Amino acid sequence: MPRPPASKHEIATGSAHDAPPGHAWHSASGSTAPRQIIRTDDTMPADTAFRLVCEGTALLWQGDFQNARQLLLALARRVDRLAENRDSRASRTTSPSVAPSPTAVFQQLRQAQARRARLLGMVLIPLDAEGRIPLRRAPDVRQACNEACGPIDVPGIASLREVLGWIGAHEWRKKGVAVPTLNARIHPHYGVFAPVRGEYVDLVAQTPLPPALASDSLAFDIGTGTGMLAAVLAQRGIGRIVATDQNPRALACAGENLARLGWTRQVTVLQADLFPAERAPLIVCNPPWIPAQPSSPLEEAVYDPDSRMLRGFLAGLAGHLTAGGEGWLILSDLAEHLGLRSREELLARIADAGLKVAGRLDAKPTHRRTTDTSDPLHAARAAEVTSLWRLTAR
C-alpha cells in the first residue's frame, strides 16, 4: 500500500530511544522508548494506525482517552487477524501428517505473544508531572502510577497498554485474591504474581510436617512473592518463618500482607538470593515452572531461563537443612508436557544435589485454561499435574 502524504499525525517528535524533547519515558517494565514517535488523535483511522505501528512508528495520543482505548482494541483485532493469517499460511506449507511438536507450538506462541505486546505497546499517552493523564475522559491513575513506577515528578509519556496494566494491578491490590486456606485475601502488588492457582497452596497446607520441627520450629519460604506460603506455614503453627525474595516489590508486598494477616511476629521478610545464612528443618520453594525467557517482570514468577532458580534451590538445599529436615519443592510438570524439561532431568538434578525423594503429593490444576480447547497449549495444560516433592539429604 502506498504511504499517504505526511499529515498532522506524522510530526516526528522523538529520536532513537528518546521520548519527545522535555519529556521522560515512564515504564515499570523496563522497556525503552520507541525509536520514532508521532502525535495523533481521534481522527486517525485504525487501519492507518495499524500500518504505522507495524512500520515501527509509535503513536502519541492527543485526543480522548476512551477513544485511545478503542483504538487499542481495534489494533488488537488486526494483530490477531494477522497472526491467524500467518498460521494459516504456515499450515498450508506443512505436511498435514506432521503435527508440530509441543515445544514448537510453545515457541511459536511465545513469539506471537511478544510480537503482539510490541505492536500494542506502540500507542502512547502523556503523563503530567504528578502522574495525571492530561486527556479528555481520562481516569485518575496517580495512585496506580505511583504503585507501579514510584513518584513521578516530571512530565512524560508511557505505553497505554502498560498504563492499563498499572490500573489493573492497582485494582487487584485493592480487592485482593481470596485464599480459602487462609480464610483471608492476599493483595498482590504490581509486578508480583497473584496467587490465583490454589492447588499448590492446598498441598503446602495438607502435607504432614517433618518431625524435626518438634525440636526446632523454623521454616524458610524461598522466593516468597506475596508472602502467601509463609502465612500458610505460620497458620500451621510453625514458630518462626524466614521468607526470602530478591525482588524489592515482592518484599514490600509480602511485608504488607503478613502485617495485614497478623503474622509479623512469626515471619521475618528478608532480601536474599534464595537461602538465608542459617539452617532449618523445613524449607519450602515454589520456583518458576517453565524454563524460558520472561518478557516482563510479572512473567518472572512463571518463566525462569535455564531453570536458574530451580537449579539454585536444589544445589543449596542439602547444605541448609538440619538433620532430619525436609525441602518441599512445589513444581508443575507443564514444562515436561511442553518438551522443555524431562522428568529424568529433574530426578537427575535432585540426585546430583545430594538429595533423595522422601515422598510426593500431586494435585490437578483447576484453573479455566485446563478446559479451554481453543488454547494452543490445551493438550499440555489438560495433562498438567502440580506436585509437592518432599526432599531430604542423602
Please, what is the average pLDDT of the chain? 90
Predicted confidence at residue 18, as pLDDT, reads 43
Give the closest residue to 241 by CA, choosing from 197, 260, 250, 255: 255
8 A C-beta contact, residue 63 and residue 133:
no
Please tell me which of 2-6, 8-12, 219-223 the model is most confident about, judged by mean pLDDT.
219-223
Of residues 281 and 152, more confidence is placed in 281
Query: What share of the chain has pLDDT > 90, as a percent?
Result: 77
Residues whose CB falls within 8 Å of the CB of residue 242, separated by 6 or more in sequence, listed in order: 218, 219, 220, 221, 267, 268, 270, 276, 278, 280
Predicted confidence at residue 84, as pLDDT, reads 82
Mean pLDDT (whole number) for 198-227: 95
Read off the amino acid at residue 184.
A
What three-state secondary structure class fits 317? helix
Predicted confidence at residue 82, as pLDDT, reads 87
Lowest average pLDDT, out of 123-132, 217-226, 286-295, goes to: 286-295
* Whole-number Cα distances in Å, 232 to 200, 201, 221, 359, 380: 11, 8, 10, 20, 29
**Residue 22 pLDDT greater than 70, yes or no:** no
Predicted confidence at residue 216, as pLDDT, reads 96
Mean pLDDT (whole number) for 326-331: 98
Cell numbers at residue 46, please? 485504525
Predicted confidence at residue 90, as pLDDT, reads 59
> What pTM does this model have?
0.89
Predicted confidence at residue 9, as pLDDT, reads 37
Predicted confidence at residue 86, as pLDDT, reads 73
Cα-Cα-Cα-Cα torsion 364, 368, 371, 374, nearest 10 degrees, comes to -140
Predicted confidence at residue 11, as pLDDT, reads 32
**Residue 156 pLDDT greater than 50, yes or no:** yes
pLDDT in tens, 115-142: 999 999 999 999 999 999 999 999 999 9
CA pair distance 391, 394, nearest whole angstrom: 9
DSSP assignment, residue 189? P
Q: Give CATH 3.40.50.150 domain extents, the chain.
A: 176-393
Mean pLDDT (whole number) for 291-304: 85
**Residue 114 pLDDT greater than 70, yes or no:** yes
Of residues 89 and 184, more confidence is placed in 184
**Residue 5 pLDDT greater than 50, yes or no:** no
Mean pLDDT (whole number) for 29-41: 91
**Residue 53 pLDDT greater than 90, yes or no:** yes
Predicted confidence at residue 95, as pLDDT, reads 59
Predicted confidence at residue 97, as pLDDT, reads 64
Predicted confidence at residue 281, as pLDDT, reads 98
**Residue 93 pLDDT greater than 70, yes or no:** no
CA pair distance 263, 184, nearest whole angstrom: 13
Query: What share of the chain has pLDDT > 70, as a percent?
Result: 91
**Residue 14 pLDDT greater than 70, yes or no:** no
**Residue 330 pLDDT greater than 90, yes or no:** yes
176-393 belongs to CATH 3.40.1350.10: no
Predicted confidence at residue 134, as pLDDT, reads 96
Predicted confidence at residue 262, as pLDDT, reads 96
**Residue 377 pLDDT greater than 60, yes or no:** yes
Predicted confidence at residue 194, as pLDDT, reads 85
Predicted confidence at residue 8, as pLDDT, reads 35
> Could you tell me the pLDDT band of residue 365, with boundaries at 50, 70 and 90?
confident
Predicted confidence at residue 13, as pLDDT, reads 42
